[in-house]
Structure 1
Amino acid sequence: MFISKIKKTVDDPKFNHFITIVILLQAASLALETFQELDTYKVLFESINIFVIVVFIVEASLKIFSTYPNVTLYFKDGWNLFDFSIIVLSLIPFSGGYSTIARLVRLLRVTRLTSTSKEMSAVVMTIIKSIPSMINILLLLLLVFFIFGITGYHLFNDIDPKHWDSLPRSFLTLFEILTLANWTDIMYIAIDVNHLYGIYFISFILISTFVVINIFIGVIVRKSEEAYKQIESHISVTPITQRDIG
């Protein structure tokens, strides 16, 4: 009976909303600490810090108890492991030269918003699932950069040494062109010498920006759909699993 009440509390959306509010409180506290004129409120900020830690510990304890007697189920969930690791890091006493680490740990607590929101969880899962495909796309983009970087060095080294005097500088120039930031200024320096040089810049933009980047976006969209389906299936299965545990 006691375990079933804990399960009901943990599954209650209001409980999840409360945790979200606590995380936002921590975020507000971290932001206000950066204002020197608010140094007189350090005690308040420290109290908020302790309150947040206590809430996280209570939350983790309730979630662990809700899986009783199979408490290992709690640690099989990736998000629970993420939350638990933040709690452990928060309990480590950092002082002296390590005080900056303590602040970074508090900042990590704000990232818990990704586990309290279904939409943000889907975004994180999308990024993780997209890594293998993104590596292949980045390798393709690197190959494009290498080919156009070498070509640009030989074509424009004498014309525009500011942007093309070495291969690393050529890579930086190509990255600037890729972002479409003032790329025409770089192109006009070259086409003032020979109008045919415009083919180089237009072909690079077509290949890198409109082809490779669109493939990259396509992978993200596909993985995003898969992540949402996985989260939806997890939500629909979870209540049944918990009843079976009880």
Structure 2
Amino acid sequence: MTDPAAHTPRRRRAVAGRCREITEARWFAALVFCLILANAAVLGVETYSGLAERWHLALRTVEYSFLAAFTVEILLRAGAHAERPAAFFRDPWNLFDLTVVLFAFLPFLRENGTVLRLLRLARVLRAARFLPQLRVVLVAVGRSLPGTVSFLLVGGLLLYLYAMVGWICFSDSDPEHFGSLGRAILTLFLLMTLDGLGDAVRAGLEISRWSILYYASYVLFASFVLVNVLIGVVITSLDEARSMEEPAESPEPARPAPADAPLPNADAIVLRERVAAARRALDDLERALAAAPVEHTATALAPASRTRTD
């Protein structure tokens, strides 16, 4: 009697192979991508109140159909890892897809219309799985968050310092823009985009000619230095994300060349010179043996013959 447990790995292997054939097929990726785009279109239609009220039942049916299709998709992707289920949860995109689909079945979330719409909107982000460039950009945004937080801290400190200096210098003459710390921070935050910089400089020059140093130094640090630092952080994260997406190319071990393989030019020349030198040495040895007296040759061969006789 066969043990049923012995057939379990074989069944898992068969299920995983079949599911992998489906999920790795081009038609499957194209179908899921089209479903995501159709889901986005339906979400857009629901923003029109007249259409939403008229086609309420049809839109609800379409929504359930999308949910069923995405559920089947995530089950097929999980089935492709039937041999090693832990590998399914190591992929961040699988976790994201599973979260988006699973939360749609939770009762307390389905009762909240706003949360349910946000979850349905999150399905549109799943299109990044099928667009490599978009996936690289999203990964780069995620990897740039630590650097962006540092940028925000430095930018906030710079805004605070210049806002305090502006409040001290311009609060009495320009209370509309520097009457309080909050007004000063808002004014400087808008100046960071260089919007209204000319009007601010003219208003500052009416107060004091030294205000040009205040605005010039702020624009230099806030609009040029900090923004370029942020751009550098994003570009670095983009390069890292692109290198993560590219398959790691492991160098192949060097294989010995076959005996009849042609050698490089330099090695072939050296080898020819050595062969020619060996041939010349053999020719010289043959000529020397031919010119030697016969008795010397016999004398030299006598000990060898006596040794052979003994």
TM-score, normalised to structure 1, is: 0.89
Deviation at 1:175, TM superposition (A): 0.4
Q: 1:2 Cα deviation (Å)?
A: 5.0
Deviation at 1:65, TM superposition (A): 1.1
Separation in structure 1 between the aligned mates of residue 167 and residue 137 of structure 2, nearest angstrom? 39
In 2: Cα distance, 1:98 partner to 1:181 partner: 41
What SS does the corresponding residue of 1:111 show, helix, strand or coil? helix
Query: Cα distance 1:94–1:103, how it changes in 2: closer, same or farther (>3 A)?
Result: farther
3-state DSSP class of the match of 1:192?
Answer: helix
Instruction: Give the distance between the partners of 2:197 and 2:31, measured in 1 at CA.
Output: 49
CA separation of 1:154/1:95 partners in 2, compared to 1, >3 Å: closer, same or farther? closer
Counterpart of 1:244 in structure 2 is: none
Indicate conservation of the 8 Å contact 1:26/1:110, yes or no.
Answer: yes
Counterpart position of 2:45: 32
2:36 maps to 1:18: no
Corresponding residue for residue 80 of structure 1: 94
Q: Unmatched 5+ residue regions in structure 1?
A: 238-246
The answer to whether 1:226 aligns with 2:240 is: yes
Q: Which amino acid aligns with 2:33?
A: T
Q: Is the 8 A contact 2:167 2:178 kept in 1?
A: yes
* CA deviation map 1:7-62 (0-9, x unaligned): 12212233222211111111111111111221211122112211111111111111
Residues 164-222 of structure 1 show CA distances to partners (whole Å, capped at 9, x for unaligned) of: 01111111111000012212222211112223211211111111111111011011001
Q: CA deviation at 1:94?
A: 5.0
Q: CA deviation at 1:95?
A: 8.0
Count of residues paired in the alignment = 236
In structure 2, C-alpha distance between the alignment counterparts of 1:18 and 1:163, rounded to whole Å = 55
Counterpart contact for 1:94–1:101, Cα < 8 Å? no
Distance in 2 of aligned mates of 1:201 and 1:117: 44
Unaligned runs of 5+ in 2: 1-13, 251-310
Quick one: structure 1 residues 205 and 13, their matched pair in 2 at CA, closer, same or farther if it must change by over 3 Å?
Answer: farther
Alignment-derived partner of residue 58 in structure 1:
72
- What corresponds to 2:128 in structure 1? 114
1:173 aligns with 2:190: no
Q: Which has the higher contact order (CA 8 A, sep 6+)?
A: 1
Provide TM-score, normalisation by structure 2: 0.71
**Aligned AA for 2:58?**
L
The residue aligned with 2:269 is: none
Q: Deviations over 1:62-82 (max 9, x none)?
A: 111111211221111111001
Q: Which has the larger share of helix?
A: 1
4+ runs deviating over 4 angstroms: 94-97
Name the Cα RMSD after superposition.
2.0
What is the CA–CA distance in structure 2 between the aligned matches of 1:226 and 1:104, rounded to whole Å? 30
Question: Is structure 2 residue 55 aligned with structure 1 residue 41?
Answer: yes
Q: 1:95 to 1:217 in 2, by over 3 A?
A: closer
The separation in 1 between residues aligned to 2:111 and 2:101, in whole angstroms, is 21
Counterpart amino acid of residue 82 in structure 2 = Y
Q: Which of the pair has more CA radius of gyration?
A: 2
User: What is the CA-CA distance between 1:117 and the residue it aligns to?
Assistant: 1.9
Q: What SS does structure 1 have at the residue aligned with 2:141?
A: helix
What is the aligned-residue identity percentage? 27
